[in-house]
Amino acid sequence: MTTPGRLHNLVAIVTGGGSGFGESICAAFAREGARIVVADLNAANGERVARALQAEGGEAEFCRTDVGKSVEMGALVSAALARFGRIDIMVNNAGMSHPNRPMLEVTEEFFDRLYEVNVKSLYLAAVHCVPVFRRQGGGGFINIGSTAAVRPRPGLAWYNGTKGAVILLTKSMAVELAPDKIRVNAINPAIAETPLLTTFMGAPDTPENRARFLASIPLGRLCRPADVANAAVFFADPASEFITGTCLEVDGGRCI
Ligand SMILES: NC(=O)c1ccc[n+]([C@@H]2O[C@H](COP(=O)([O-])OP(=O)(O)OC[C@H]3O[C@@H](n4cnc5c(N)ncnc54)[C@H](O)[C@@H]3O)[C@@H](O)[C@H]2O)c1
């Protein structure tokens, strides 16, 4: 007899599921038996990930979503309910950054979009998911923060600020939503091997440039998508039911 996965029968939405951490979270959740809605602005990547999950025998659907727009987040939640009848976990992973550069070189237009995608998305996820979680008697948010909020690097000022907001919102939401059995946790990854890497470096991904970042990570390597996915499985697993408001560094010791 095979044991059911740790997320057996749970339904998860993963924003930014078409690439990087999100793609890895989708794969790990599906392996543990969850049914997944892959939400992404990039339809080609989101559909590719959903098809790959289906090919492995998982139940998955893609929903093209801009997480900064209320109408689209509402449609995402409706699509998940129409397909699977419930939502147990909302992973707020979609995010972006300005390239590493002096703070005054980031335009106001870019700043507004950055806060829309990285911060307003948490508000919109709450607006559309909390009523569903309350009706169901519980649910969980997993927010992807960053070590940028704990040990900020120069050149990423406004991005760092968005992740600071993610951490404080995680704790604020956790304390307010606890009576509804809604858990809210965050993961703070260190700089990782994803398509965002060169944006954060502000330079090409050469061995010399990598070495500068590796020098600041005691375990001596960059974060990998699977590191973040494993932490997300932990927070989604009902076995962590007593854990809320936790912001977990997955950073090889960067924040020590
Ligand atoms: N890569 C790193 O070094 C690193 C470190 C710490 C935290 N993070 C955070 O991890 C999260 C995932 O980043 P990643 O490194 O996997 O990047 P990525 O670029 O590989 O993936 C991000 C995904 O989000 C999608 N996306 C962007 N804007 C969107 C929007 N408005 N609506 C819906 N989808 C949107 C993109 O299409 C992409 O598929 C982000 O929140 C990022 O800030 C990344």
Instruction: Express each pLDDT in 124-182 by its tens digit.
Output: 999 999 999 999 999 999 999 999 999 999 999 999 999 999 999 999 999 999 999 99
Measured from the CA of 223, which atom of ligand 1 is nearest? 3
Does 5 have pLDDT greater than 70?
yes
Ligand 1, atom 31, lies closest to the CA of 66
CB 42 within 8 A of CB 18: yes
- 84 pocket-lining for ligand 1 (C-beta < 6 Å): no
Quick one: pLDDT at residue 1?
A: 61
Q: Delimit the domains of the chain by residue range.
A: 11-196+224-249
Instruction: Express each pLDDT in 76-108 by its tens digit.
Output: 999 999 999 999 999 999 999 999 999 999 999
Instruction: Express each pLDDT in 179-201 by its tens digit.
Output: 999 999 999 999 998 999 999 99
Ligand 1, atom 18, lies closest to the CA of 20
| Catalytic one of 133, 159, 200, 235 | 159
Q: How far is Cα 119 from Cα 68, in angstroms, rounded to an integer?
A: 8
What mean pLDDT value characterizes the chain? 97
Strand partners, 14: 38, 91
CATH class of the region 11-196+224-249: alpha beta
123 among known catalytic residues? no
Instruction: Express each pLDDT in 39-64 by its tens digit.
Output: 999 999 999 999 999 999 999 999 99
Does 8 have pLDDT greater than 90?
yes
Measured from the CA of 118, which atom of ligand 1 is nearest? 41
Q: How far is Cα 52 from Cα 57, in angstroms, rounded to an integer?
A: 9
Sheet holding 35-40, edge to edge: 60-64, 35-40, 11-15, 89-92, 139-144, 182-189, 247-250
Core vs surface per residue 32-59: b (16+ CB within 10 A) or e: bbbbbbbbbbeeebbbbbbebbeeeebb
- 65 pocket-lining for ligand 1 (C-beta < 6 Å): yes
